[in-house]
Amino acid sequence: MALFQAEEYFERIRNTKIRMAQAGIDVLIVSDPANMNYLTGYDGWSFYVPQAVVISLDSEQPVWIGRGMDAAGASHTTFLNEEHIIGYPDDYVQSSVKHPMNFVAEQIKRRGWDNRAIGVEMDAYYFSARGFVELRQDLPRADFKDGNLLVSWVRINKSDAEIEYMKQAGKICERVMQTALDNLSPGVRECDAVAAVYQTQMAGTAEFGGDYPAIVPMMPTGEKTSAPHLTWTDEPYENEQAVNLELAACRHRYHAPLARTAYLGKNPSQQLTRLAEHTVDGLNLTLEAIKPGLLCEEVEMVWRRHIAKAGLEKESRIGYSMGLNYPPDWGEHTASLRPGDKTVLAPNMTFHMILGMWMDNYGFECSESFRVTEDGCETLADFPRKLFVIN
Amino acid sequence: MALFQAEEYFERIRNTKIRMAQAGIDVLIVSDPANMNYLTGYDGWSFYVPQAVVISLDSEQPVWIGRGMDAAGASHTTFLNEEHIIGYPDDYVQSSVKHPMNFVAEQIKRRGWDNRAIGVEMDAYYFSARGFVELRQDLPRADFKDGNLLVSWVRINKSDAEIEYMKQAGKICERVMQTALDNLSPGVRECDAVAAVYQTQMAGTAEFGGDYPAIVPMMPTGEKTSAPHLTWTDEPYENEQAVNLELAACRHRYHAPLARTAYLGKNPSQQLTRLAEHTVDGLNLTLEAIKPGLLCEEVEMVWRRHIAKAGLEKESRIGYSMGLNYPPDWGEHTASLRPGDKTVLAPNMTFHMILGMWMDNYGFECSESFRVTEDGCETLADFPRKLFVIN
């Protein structure tokens, strides 16, 4: 049974079709697993083989096309009728002579859609260059268009039902962050602290369990804090060191990320303490400024002005839309809190605002995941904003 | 510091160049994160943005090209000199007006490689259709060739140093499987059993910690066992039900997967018990037959003949080469244990042989990860092969 009511999926499909019509796309081949889930409910770890949800302006239900052995999973998790679930034979898998997108093309021909304007998600994860070439060869009469992020832009506005799962993820995330802090201590191996974090991510709360986040826990320390995407080692945490905690929780594929900074030891430098206070002030100030109608770039400007007073600036964006997702990223790749982004904030948009300030040899980061409300914003998790000194 | 000696990376590069020359490829753009790691040591959770290792026949060291903020991670984890680590500016990230592959193309031009035969991994994860189109537009003088799996076929032969990490993963995996069995009980929520498994995967042993496997733990029960890639829920395990355990451990990105079947309750059906015995006999028999010189299809034939005696057959392949990898798959997509696969087994090839037998309303699976030795094979983990009855 799908996670949401069928009516909710049909509304998502309607909103997608409006954007398709605007973009001159008759048939959209959706390969991004988050977009596939969004339109049908499909949820499975099967995106390591090519698969798609195909949505046509003239058809009420989308068609799920995937590996034959995953059709049962599609029946189990989507709202689709059985005739809209099509599995391809297993000899398409990792074959040197044929490709699953040949099968998808065949299904499109069979429905008489092959002379239409066909959208594909050109930059989506799991839609390969080969897949595109095969589709183009098999569908010579089609007019291919880039439908990248088309569904993702529909996803930016969450329903109340989606928000409910994100709040549950926020509740789990409070426990995840507390677990990390409880397990940080000089001499503890990084892998053991990460293990405790994973345990809490999946166990969730007594009321609701957790799902796997789209990004692994990041808990770097020492010189690794300057290399943001290195994962953990067997090395023990050391005394008088800062640790960056970039964590998240996930509930039914909906995320609540949260970042904090901890300091192991008694003597955080005055520089670090001051940077922490200044960053947290900026986070509070920026959250307070958020309300519907504001542009994304205006949110960033609040922060930018605040840190300019201390003679600081931050090059990269300070946040991004997020929610439903799969590895390798929980971000939606749509709106960003950065200069030039004219996206207008509206109720039930959800962002991760992450303020990471990196100096030459020290740094501090603090983040919140929040929902835009009718007159402001609310965070998904409730967790103190400060430098955590652990000694 | 890179995980292996520089000499080992140079040997991998030499073997890659031999295959490049055979395929008529002068310059290979490697986007598969496992292949990038294999050739340079690069290890980071940064594959959610486009990145590449570019290897040219006329150049000793490959060039790592990635997001600017990940260049420090490349310095930290690769054997490359600083001048072979090139970061692109952050305004290439998720931009609507330019793409990181434009930057890669520029680097190729700058080196005078743009009139060469350029290989790209057409079906690799994380090399998008858009990335390919951008490269082709920016490099009109290049002769593009498909270099898909070229490096992966080099990876199939593991070094002794790689085998050492896979054996460590095997040791961790024994604990992972035992943890799963210890936590399976009627009334326990699926998410809690999975949480315990994750904890053990990362904590590893006292001697060596664990890394995140490329696939999440699969522990389905009841009707979900017929939908192989659905992940866990909050539902409690029930009495008198079978549970499929498809687990793994990972050490420095090297995997050891392992599958077993457990039965919760006192009364597994005679059918199930018989199927388990027959499958385990077949697994033992097939492992005993393995030796260098055998073809992959001959290994499968041993199994096929065994189950035919019981009037059974199995449609899908019974195993595949695996080792170093990243989400979403630990399989290497090269050799498979299946009819028609003429790959000749050689010492230090490593496979996951997984025998899943699915009847209408019951099933059993059992697997081993193994290394081909000088005169046979050895499994990476040492764990009983049987139906585990938990009551």
ipTM confidence: 0.97
The predicted pLDDT at position B339 comes to 94
- Residue A315 predicted with pLDDT over 80: no
Buried b (16+ CB within 10 A) or exposed e, A132-168: bbbbbebbeebebbbbbbbbbbbbbbbeeebbebbbb
- Residue A30 predicted with pLDDT over 80: yes
The predicted pLDDT at position A49 comes to 97
The predicted pLDDT at position A341 comes to 95
The predicted pLDDT at position B145 comes to 98
A237 touches B: beta carbon within 8 Å: no
Query: Which residue in the set A124, A192, A228 is minimally distant from B203, CB to CB?
Result: A192
Query: Which residue in the set A129, A198, A224 is minimally distant from B199, CB to CB?
Result: A198
Query: Which residue in the set B128, B196, B328 is minimally distant from A129, CB to CB?
Result: B128
A89 touches B: beta carbon within 8 Å: no
Does the distance separating the beta carbons of A234 and B43 come in below 8 Å? no
The predicted pLDDT at position A313 comes to 85
CA distance B219 to chain A (A): 13
Report the residue of A150, A199, A354, A357 to disrupt the B interface, i.e. the one with the largest count of B CBs within 10 Å: A199
Residue B81: which pLDDT band, with cuts at 50, 70 and 90? very high
Return the DSSP state at B299. Answer: H
Chain A neighbors of B224, CB-CB under 8 A: 76
Residue of A nearest to B90 (CA): A316
The predicted pLDDT at position B316 comes to 80
CA distance B142 to chain A (A): 17
Does the distance separating the beta carbons of B195 and A201 come in below 8 Å? yes
Residue A225: which pLDDT band, with cuts at 50, 70 and 90? confident
Query: Which residue in the set B45, B73, B146 is minimally distant from A216, CB to CB?
Result: B45
- Residue A360 predicted with pLDDT over 90: no
The predicted pLDDT at position B278 comes to 95
In chain B, what percentage of residues exceed pLDDT 90? Answer: 92
Chain B neighbors of A223, CB-CB under 8 A: 76
- Any bridge partners for residue B313, and if so which? none
Of how many residues is chain B composed? 391
Class of domain A6-155: alpha beta
Q: What is the residue-averaged pLDDT of chain B?
A: 96
Residue B24: which pLDDT band, with cuts at 50, 70 and 90? very high
Does the distance separating the beta carbons of B48 and A328 come in below 8 Å? yes
The predicted pLDDT at position B362 comes to 87
Q: Write the CATH number of the domain with boundaries B160-390.
A: 3.90.230.10
pLDDT digits (tens, 9 = 90+) for B294-316: 999 999 999 999 999 988 888 78
- Chain A window 276-305: which residues touch B at a Cβ cutoff of 8 Å? none
Burial of A62 (0-12, 13-18, 19+ CB in 10 A): buried
> If you average pLDDT over residues A125-147, what whole number do you get?
98
Residue A367: which pLDDT band, with cuts at 50, 70 and 90? very high
Chain A neighbors of B234, CB-CB under 8 A: 204, 208-209
> If you average pLDDT over residues B382-388, what whole number do you get?
98
The predicted pLDDT at position B1 comes to 86
Does the distance separating the beta carbons of B126 and A125 come in below 8 Å? yes
For CATH 3.40.350.10, the residue range(s) in chain B are 6-155
Residue B209: which pLDDT band, with cuts at 50, 70 and 90? very high
Does the distance separating the beta carbons of B99 and A122 come in below 8 Å? no
The predicted pLDDT at position A362 comes to 87
B109 touches A: beta carbon within 8 Å: no
pLDDT digits (tens, 9 = 90+) for A231-265: 999 999 999 999 999 999 999 999 999 999 999 99
Query: Which residue in the set A129, A211, A216 is minimally distant from B127, CB to CB?
Result: A129
Beta carbons within 8 Å of A388's beta carbon, 6+ residues apart: A181, A260, A261, A262, A263
Does the distance separating the beta carbons of B146 and A226 come in below 8 Å? no
- Residue B225 predicted with pLDDT over 90: no
A43 touches B: beta carbon within 8 Å: yes
B316 touches A: beta carbon within 8 Å: yes
Does the distance separating the beta carbons of A230 and B77 come in below 8 Å? yes
For CATH 3.90.230.10, the residue range(s) in chain B are 160-390
Does the distance separating the beta carbons of B47 and A328 come in below 8 Å? yes
Does the distance separating the beta carbons of A190 and B73 come in below 8 Å? no
